[in-house]
């Protein structure tokens, strides 16, 4: 991980649990189509994320603009995991706000295709985002997770995230009704 010309940059090669090579790096404008494809795949596989596949209405041009803004940011980043030249997971950090009272806080999000669960990608993406958040000067990383998502909660706790609250009606799933959301944070200093 490094900062280049006031931009957050990340690049790392890792070996997965199945011995496959995985590249963890910034998602770029050129990845827009692949990022959209990955986003739809993951939303078809899980009910633990904010949106459904039919709610992903970004055009490729809009996704390119989003990724361009992340590429050129000194405080936000979109990171992808690439296996066999295909994006299989995404993670990122976004500023909570720019006002003095909240500029120390960043939000963290992550998603991985089910075929790649348990291989080390979640750990690598989480560590990458923590490293980038520290480099950007954040003092706190925050997230919300569906209470039934035990694997994600275990991952976050492994890195030291602690629970700060619960919203029993945080999501209303099309399939299961109310989903409790757990708010978690990691102090970075």
pLDDT digits (tens, 9 = 90+) for 126-136: 999 999 999 99
Residue 17 falls inside a structural domain: yes
Work out the average pLDDT over 61-85.
96
Q: How far apart are CA 116 and CA 123, in angstroms?
A: 12
| Cβ within 8 Å of residue 67, ≥6 positions away | 27, 28, 29, 31, 32, 35, 78
Is the pLDDT at 55 greater than 80? The verdict is yes
- Residue 19, pLDDT > 60, answer yes
pLDDT at position 3 is 46
- 178 occurs within a structural domain: no
pLDDT attached to residue 111: 97
Residue 137 lies in a domain: yes
Q: What was the pLDDT predicted at 5?
A: 55
Residue 151 resides in a domain? no
| Tokens representing residue 162 in the block | 């602690």
Q: Is residue 73 scored above 60 in pLDDT? A: yes
> Is 70 a member of any domain?
yes
Q: Does residue 177 lie within any of the structural domains?
A: no
Q: Convert the pLDDT of each residue in 154-164 to its tens digit.
A: 999 999 999 99
1 — pLDDT class (breaks 50, 70, 90): very low
Mean model confidence pLDDT for the chain: 95
Question: For residue 166, what pLDDT band results from cuts at 50, 70 and 90?
Answer: very high
Domains: count for the chain: 1
Give the 3-state secondary structure of 132-183: HHHHCCCCEEEEEEECCCHHHHHHHHHCCCEEEEEEEEEEEECCCEEEEEEE
Tell me, what CATH number does 103's domain have? 3.40.630.30
Taking residues 3-14, report their average pLDDT: 81
Residue numbers of the domain that contains 120: 11-143
């Amino acid at each position: 991980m490094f900062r280049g010309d006031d931009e957050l940059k990340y690049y790392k090669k890792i070996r997965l649990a199945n011995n496959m090579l995985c590249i963890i790096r910034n998602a770029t404008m050129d990845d827009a189509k692949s990022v959209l494809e990955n986003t739809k795949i993951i939303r078809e596989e899980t009910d633990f994320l904010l949106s459904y596949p039919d709610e992903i209405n970004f055009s490729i041009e809009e996704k390119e603009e989003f990724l361009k803004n992340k590429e050129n940011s000194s405080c936000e980043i979109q990171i992808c995991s690439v296996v066999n030249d295909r994006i299989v997971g995404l993670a990122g950090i976004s500023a909570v706000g720019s006002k003095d009272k909240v500029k120390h806080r960043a939000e963290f999000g992550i998603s991985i295709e089910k075929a790649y669960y348990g291989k080390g990608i979640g750990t690598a993406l989480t560590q990458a985002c923590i490293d980038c958040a520290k480099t950007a000067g954040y003092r706190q990383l925050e997230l919300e997770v569906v209470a039934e998502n035990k694997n994600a909660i275990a991952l976050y706790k492994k890195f030291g995230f602690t629970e700060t609250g619960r919203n029993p009606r945080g999501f209303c799933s099309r399939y299961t009704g109310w989903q409790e959301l757990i708010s978690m944070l990691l102090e970075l200093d």
